[in-house]
A and B are shown apart, each in its own frame.
Chain A
Amino acid sequence: MELKNRLGKEIIIFDGAMGTVLQMRGLKAGELPEILNIEKSKEIVDIHKSYLEAGAEILTTNTFGANTLKMDETDYSVEEIIRAAVSNARRAVDESSVDALVALDIGPLGELLEPMGSLTFDEAYQLFKQQVKIGEEAGADLIHIETIADLYEAKAAVLAAEENSDLPVFCTMTFEENGRTFTGGSIRSMISVLEGLGVDALGLNCSLGPEKLKPLAEEVLKYSEIPVIMQANAGLPVVEDGETVFKISPEEYFKPLAELYQKGLAVVGGCCGTDKNFISIIAENLKNKKVKSRRIIKESTVCSPSQYVNLASINVVGERINPTGKPVFKNALKNSDLDYIFKVAVEEVEAGADILDVNLGLPDIDEKEMMIRTIKELQGILDIPLQIDSSDPDVIAGALRYYNGTAVVNSVNGETAVLDKILPSVKKYGAAVIGLTMDESGIPDSSEERFKIAEKIVNKADEYGIKRGKIIIDCLTLTASAQQEGVKETLKAIKRVKEELGVNTTLGISNVSFGLPARSVLNRTFLSMALFQGLNLPIIDPNDREMMASIKAAAVLNNIDQGAVQYIEYMAKNKDNVAPEKKEILESEELGDKVDDLKMVIIKGLKNAAGPLTEKILKEKEALEVVNEYLIPALDIVGDSYEQGEIFLPQLVQSAETVKEAFAVIKQKMAHSGGRNIAKGKIAVATVKGDVHDIGKNIVKIVLENYGYQIIDLGRNVQTEEIVRTVKENEIKLIGLSALMTTTVKNMEKTIKAVRKETPDCRIMVGGAVLTSDYADMIEADFYAKDAKEAVKIAQKVFAEIN
């Protein structure tokens, strides 16, 4: 059977369940069905044959869980299992003398990927890669990735399939009735990412019966531009006499499928609870039938697993994750202090950004490493789609690989060399791309010349197979005070590229007003003019409420925000004009707290009052004086009260965060004035490999920071190698390791050994839920810190000895 010729033109029929049939034949709960490929191969061949007899045209191998993580529990290797499985399916086909294909079945790995779990993207990729390579060698005809609930895992599997084989790739995911996967992924995001990665067919399987999956399948059929697969369960399982049974009849099962066939379904088969009778009825009715044509809504989107943005609409790109002209940001980047970035990102999201631009370009850092790390962290805490802002093709390719979703790339320009270096990654990962209308000779003056560059970019992107909807042209803002006549050229060019090239547009706004008074008036007016010309993606500071309001208003007036829904929502949310921090201070005052005494503010933990008050005091006092006269004494009082049992952990932490706010202001002042560094010493902290919970470590970190130590926070689930490398590169003298589980203390021990070997003069303190002082001795740590206060004492001791 020629799959590629038939896919999407004629219905293709998959087989039904393997696991259910094996359970009916006596598979025990907890047994791994994959080993039966070897131990009961005849039985497996018989089941395959029964599906061929019923009319299946593609057999899925009995390899759902045949990955190293699961097979390590058996006496067989992944290689033995997959080879046996493919050969069983092949034998069934040969002995039945029918024209059918063998699909290598790949199910989820069974562990959650980072950031929710401890399995890294690369580890997942390697596990899938092994299955794909063996499967192709063993003679599978296609790769069928199924029952995936996490879009990131689907991405790892699809990349592994595409990069390590030439076989067609199918991918189906499993959704709940609410249209979300267990991890919160949406159907639109699945379509965006899988289509972008270039799978041959996509769709839904498992979780529900066909009746309940029908509305979800309809959504897929509405938006997917590639053939759609459905493999539903035989309804919801019911427990009868302690046994799980599926109660739906084949006829009931087929009814919704017949309707979906009319709507354009291309590939159909069964999942849990189905057997040959279900496949028979599908084959009797649909075999060799033409796939019905369907009306597809073609929207170009970028997305995270749970949120998507239609690029053709009007959306705000937040511009603030960018170190240019920001000394505090630069310092934070140099010190790998990502907390600063997170804070900025969260503010932008709360202010209403739809996409976040992430620019980490700074000469003296490893931009690629920093970009990948930041992207992984940001996608772990926020749902907003990201825009990767870099000029380095390598940084872009790395970021696109690890991004969990469909990203925007910012940017290419009209230079052929740039286009040829960056567009292949854009295509490979299905990203959208911003093209700047400039080239080797700079920014042309006239709109005609800029249009020509845009045209060149679009043609190049066409050559690489990138869709028009995913191209975003930036006609570039000029400064009115320097090139007044140029401003209109930008506006003219926007309209032309949109109308004649059918692409979307973006524009940074605020440059227009540089060097003139009342900049916000110029900015807003220019923004309105650009929006009128058809601007889709203004890049602004979303905290600028007037700009945001103008954008919301333009979306109403351009008939994009229909019924003014978003406009009304935004205005309702922002009608009260007081900034949120001010509001909390006011509330505190209303509640009767004094907010003019910094020590009192710290003791009471009034986080939002600390910044402004510190600023006020800094006008009269030196930074170090503020630390010694206010922060440290207040901290001591808080620490003592905690030890006395007068206050409790949440209060201690609250005070620590308040001090952190005060410190942030002090740091900002010193970054601007270039004053002396007041850090007492550098300490690295990490939660060891396997542990994904790091609240304890973060408490220790913030309290150490309060006492003036500079902390390099490696985060959670950190590999030994990374810890050793950091200790070496930063000449760390004290490291704090945290572990939560008895099983991960082993990794802590391993890390201690490695640190000892590579950097013998680095002292090690340990802490965490399961640790005791005996345990700490046993794994040969230098110190056991039972809590944050203890960690401070240890740090004071260690650095006193050094200095």
Chain B
Amino acid sequence: MEFKIDRSEVLMYLQTSKDLKDKNIIQLISQASAEVKDLIDFRYLYKKFPIEISQKGIKLLNTTLTLKGKSIKKHLKKSPEIYLMAVTLGVQIDKKISLYDKTSVTKAVIFDACATAAVEEGCDKVEAEIKRKAFNDGYKDITFRYSPGYGDLSIEVQKELLRILNAPKKIGLTVSKYNMLQPNKSVTAVIGMLTEKTESDGEFSFEKRHCRQCNLYNDCQLRRKGNYCGTKK
């Protein structure tokens, strides 16, 4: 899979202005982007599950998993089926970040931002693939990617979610006791299938939909500058 690593995305993760002029930094971003592209070992998995919405939460049929919380219930309330997805950039990216951590913090910061941009780009591609499948199955739309840790969906479901996808064995994606995905530059998410087309939202409703549920809503520097993390395209 080819990665572009868009500079404006990288600048967003670096929390700089969109038209940063510093030529050193710009040069470091180009170098880091090239390195990231070279080191990416992109692997992904997704699988469809019928769901049942109950008092307890969203139950994935034929599995052990129930997704709990108000926010995920709201997110999936119109979906008869969902996809679970997992993507990872592999361990070489983490290793290189560690190297720069020890030798140049500037490079570490920039490399990290490039890798984050890459993993989101990877997610977009997987989401597009899922969307095509959904349309083939007769669905009219899909929800945005919803990840453990958003809203009140606990990150404690990571382990079970990965187990259901057999992700440790198939793509080498694991989770630590502290629910941190390892390799670090990885994402898991839930996407709901929709039988009706949703209307597109403006900037403001994006914030309402995503950010209000976030633990860091009040302290978020990105949001104040009109930028958004993760789920924004």
Shortest B13–chain A CB gap in Å is 10
* Residue B213 lies at the interface, judged by CB distance under 8 Å to chain A: no
Q: Are B95 and A380 in contact (CB under 8 A)?
A: yes
Partner of B106, one of A69, A591, A653: A653
- Provide the residues of chain B in CB contact with A742, threshold 8 Å: 155, 215
Q: Provided the pairs A118-B177, A699-B105 are in contact, do residues A184 and B91 lie with their beta carbons within 8 angstroms?
A: yes
Of all chain A residues, the one with the shortest Cβ separation from B184 is: A693
- Provide the residues of chain B in CB contact with A690, threshold 8 Å: 176-178, 180
Q: Are A650 and B110 in contact (CB under 8 A)?
A: yes
* Residue B103 lies at the interface, judged by CB distance under 8 Å to chain A: yes
* Residue B136 lies at the interface, judged by CB distance under 8 Å to chain A: no
A485 vs B49: C-alpha distance in the bound complex, in angstroms? 81
Interface string of A186-226 (1 = CB under 8 A from B): 00000000000000000000100000000000000000000
Q: Are A741 and B22 in contact (CB under 8 A)?
A: no
- Provide the residues of chain A in CB contact with B175, threshold 8 Å: 111
Q: Provided the pairs A650-B16, A699-B105 are in contact, do residues A117 and B182 lie with their beta carbons within 8 angstroms?
A: yes
* Residue B179 lies at the interface, judged by CB distance under 8 Å to chain A: yes
Number of A-B contacts (CB under 8 A): 165
Q: Are B168 and A108 in contact (CB under 8 A)?
A: yes
Partner of B97, one of A183, A650, A695: A695
Shortest B70–chain A CB gap in Å is 18
- Provide the residues of chain A in CB contact with B16, threshold 8 Å: 648-651
Q: Provided the pairs A242-B48, A692-B182 are in contact, do residues A117 and B103 lie with their beta carbons within 8 angstroms?
A: no
- Near B by CB (< 8 A), chain A positions 135-159 give 147, 149
Q: Are A116 and B176 in contact (CB under 8 A)?
A: no
- Provide the residues of chain A in CB contact with B1, threshold 8 Å: none
* Residue A342 lies at the interface, judged by CB distance under 8 Å to chain B: yes
Partner of A118, one of B17, B64, B176: B176
Q: Are B24 and A654 in contact (CB under 8 A)?
A: yes
* Residue A482 lies at the interface, judged by CB distance under 8 Å to chain B: no
Partner of A380, one of B24, B98, B179: B98
Shortest B1–chain A CB gap in Å is 15
- Provide the residues of chain B in CB contact with A31, threshold 8 Å: 64
* Residue B172 lies at the interface, judged by CB distance under 8 Å to chain A: yes
* Residue A562 lies at the interface, judged by CB distance under 8 Å to chain B: no
* B-side interface residues, number (CB < 8 Å): 57
* Residue B208 lies at the interface, judged by CB distance under 8 Å to chain A: no
* A-side interface residues, number (CB < 8 Å): 65
Q: Provided the pairs A695-B97, A770-B215 are in contact, do residues A182 and B172 lie with their beta carbons within 8 angstroms?
A: yes
Q: Are A606 and B101 in contact (CB under 8 A)?
A: no
Q: Are A118 and B180 in contact (CB under 8 A)?
A: yes
Q: Are B98 and A112 in contact (CB under 8 A)?
A: no
- Near A by CB (< 8 A), chain B positions 32-68 give 41, 47-48, 62-65
Partner of A343, one of B101, B103, B168, B176: B103
Interface string of B83-113 (1 = CB under 8 A from A): 0000000111011011101111110111010
- Near B by CB (< 8 A), chain A positions 644-703 give 647-651, 653-654, 656-657, 690-695, 698-699, 702
Shortest B58–chain A CB gap in Å is 14
Q: Are B48 and A116 in contact (CB under 8 A)?
A: no
Q: Are A116 and B91 in contact (CB under 8 A)?
A: yes
Of all chain B residues, the one with the shortest Cβ separation from A713 is: B102
* Residue A119 lies at the interface, judged by CB distance under 8 Å to chain B: yes
Closest 9 CB pairs of A and B: A182-B172, A30-B64, A690-B178, A648-B16, A381-B99, A112-B182, A342-B102, A743-B178, A29-B63
18 additional contacts (CB under 8 A) given A116-B183, A656-B105, A695-B108: A28-B63, A111-B177, A181-B172, A183-B172, A184-B92, A647-B22, A648-B15, A649-B14, A651-B22, A651-B25, A653-B109, A690-B178, A690-B180, A694-B101, A698-B101, A740-B180, A741-B179, A741-B180
